[in-house]
Amino acid sequence: MTMPRQHQRPTQCNDNSSPSEDEPGTMHTSMTPSRDTDSEIEIDMNMSWEELYKNARKAQSKANVAIAEVKATRRKATETAESPAKRPKITTSDVQENIKIIEHYGRKFLVTHLLWLHGNIKTTFETDIDDGYQDAERFENTETMIQGQLRDICDVLPQKYHNDLSRSWLRRAVRTPPCATMGILIRTRCGPTIFNCTEADMKSADYRREHFGTQIGWTTNDSGECAVAQPWQGEQDINTIFLNPKLMMVVSAIIRGPASVVSMSEGRGSASSRNNETLDVKWGLDHTTPGMIAAGAILARWAASVDALLTDRGAQTGIRWRDDFEDYLKYLFNGLRLRKASVLKIFREWDKVLFPSSSTGFGGRQARNDRDSRMKTMMDSLEDDIEVEGTDVHNIPYDTGQRTMGP
C-alpha cells in the first residue's frame, strides 16, 4: 500500500536499482538538478493531475538545460577547431600541397573574376548550386550573384576540388590573396610609370589628391559617388569607356610583372623581361575577362587616390570601391550577354594589347592583317607557279615526315 504523499521520502535509484516492491506504482528518474528544484523528480500513480503537470514542467526545464549545455559544448568545440590560434599545425604533406594549389587558383580567381565576393564568404561556399540559375539573372539579387560566383569558382578550380567547396580550409585558401596587397603593389612599384610622375609624387597623398582627384571620380564633398569608370576623361562615353591604357597597364603589371608596364610605356607592347613563366602563362590566360577589366579600373583609380588601403569603402575618400566594382561587372556582363557593339569593342581592344594572338576572346578573333596579307601573297605566288608534268602527287610522302632528294 502506498504511503500518503506528505509522508513519502524520495527514493533514489541508480543503474543497478529498481523500484521497491512495496511501491509497485512508483517510478524514479535520475536527472541533473536545475534551478527549479534540487531534488529528483518522482512520479507515482497516486499523483494528482496538478502534481503530474508540475513535475512534467520540472522535467522539461531540466531537459532544456541539458540541451543548452550540449549545444554550448558543441559550439565551443567548433570554434576551437576553426580558430586560427587554436587550429593544430598542418603536418600532412598532401593537405599542404592541396592548400598551395588552391591558393594558386585563388589568385587567378581574384584577378580574372572577382576582387570581392558577393555576399557572405561562408554562405557562398556552403550554398548548393542551383541548376535553374540563368546568367541573365546574375545581378538581380544577392542570391543570384552568389550562384553566378559559384560557377566562376568552379570554372577556376579543378573538378576534383568541387566537392570540397564547403570545407573551411578551401574557403580560406581561395581568399588568401587580399586585393589590398595587390593595390599597394600597383601604387608603389608601377604607379610612377603608369601615371608619369616620380616615386616621391606617387607616395604623396597630397599630390595624388591634387593631380588625380577629379580624374578618378572623387568629389569635393567626399560623397564617394562617381562616374562609371570613363577614366581620365570626365564623361561617360560608351565609345571610350574602359579603354584608357592605364587600366591595361595595371592588369599587365599583375600578370606579367612591372617590367611589362615599362615596355608598354615605351610603345613595345605588354612583354615581360623575366626568364621564368609569368602568371598569364601559369594560369593559361589567352583572353581578357570581365573581371580583369573591372579589376584594372578599380586598382588604377585606387592607386591614384588618397586612400591608404583598398577596402569596401575608402576611409579617406569615401569612394565605394566594392560597389563600383560590382557596377563595372554588371555593365560588362550585360553588354556581352546582349552583344552590344561598344562592349565587344572593349574586349577586342584589351585583347589586342594583352593577348594579340587571341582567338578565343569575348570580342571575337583578333584581326591579323599583316599575317593575312602575307599569307595571301604566298598563296597567290603558289597559284602562279608552274606545274611539273608527270608527277604523281599521291606518292609524295608529305604525311610521314619523310623527305626525298632529287637526282
DSSP 287: S
C-alpha cell at 405: 632528294
Q: Answer for the pair 228, 327: CB distance below 8 angstroms, yes or no.
A: yes
pLDDT of amino acid 381: 73
As a whole number of angstroms, the distance between CA 218 and CA 212 comes to 9
- In sign, the C-alpha dihedral spanning 114, 116, 119, 124 is positive
Digit-coded pLDDT (tens) for 169-181: 888 888 765 677 8
Instruction: For residue 152, give the amino acid letter.
Output: D
In angstroms, the first-to-last Cα distance of the chain is 129
Answer positive or negative: Cα dihedral of 140, 143, 149, 154.
negative
Handedness of CA 180, 336, 125, 92 (dihedral sign): negative
Bridge partners of 27, per DSSP, are 43
SS3 per-residue string spanning 174-231: HCCCCHHHHHHHHHHHHHHHHHCCCHHHHHCHHHHHHHHCCCCCCCCCCCCCCCCCCC
- For 32-36, 112-116, 298-302, which range has the lowest pLDDT when averaged over its residues? 32-36
Give the model's pLDDT for residue 80: 56
Q: Give how far the C-alpha of residue 159 lies from the chain's centroid of Cα atoms, to the nearest Å.
A: 17
pLDDT of residue 401: 43
- Tell me the three cell numbers of residue 257: 610583372
Q: What is the pLDDT of residues 123-147, one digit of tens each?
A: 888 899 898 999 899 999 999 999 9
Average pLDDT (384-394) is: 62
In the prediction, which pLDDT does 303 show? 94
- Other C-beta atoms within 10 Å of 261: how many? 24
C-alpha cell recorded at residue 351: 585583347
DSSP result, 35-94: SS-SSPEEEETT--HHHHHHHHHHHHHHHHHHHHHHHHHHHHHHHHHH-TTTSPPP--HH
Q: What distance lies between CA 54 and its chain's CA centroid?
A: 56
218: pLDDT strictly greater than 80:
no
Region 51-63: what's the mean pLDDT? Answer: 77
**pLDDT score of 7 more than 50:** no
Residue 66 has pLDDT above 80, yes or no: no
Burial of 285 (0-12, 13-18, 19+ CB in 10 A): buried
Q: Which residue has the higher pLDDT, 30 or 259?
A: 259
- The contacts of residue 46 (CB under 8 Å, 6+ apart) are 2, 5, 25
Predicted pLDDT of residue 196: 92
Per-residue pLDDT reduced to its tens digit, 312-350: 998 988 889 999 999 999 999 999 999 999 999 999 999
Residue 391 has pLDDT above 50, yes or no: yes
**Pair 305, 216: CB distance under 8 Å:** yes
Tell me the C-alpha distance between 88 and 67, whole Å: 29
Question: How large is the average pLDDT for residues 191-212?
Answer: 93
Q: Tell me the average pLDDT of the chain.
A: 77
pLDDT value of residue 359? 82
Nearest to 303 by CA among 267, 258, 270: 258
Q: 368 is written with which cell numbers? A: 591579323
Is 50 exceeded by the pLDDT of residue 40?
yes
Q: What is the mean pLDDT of residues 337-365?
A: 90
Please tell me the pTM assigned to this model. Answer: 0.66
Cβ atoms of 40 and 31 within 8 Å: the answer is yes
Q: Can you tell me the mean pLDDT for 102-129?
A: 89
Average pLDDT score over residue span 99-108:
89
Confidence (pLDDT) at 246: 94
> Where does residue 231 rank: exposed (0-12), middle (13-18), buried (19+ CB within 10 A)?
buried
94 — pLDDT class (breaks 50, 70, 90): confident
Block residue for cell numbers 589628391: 209
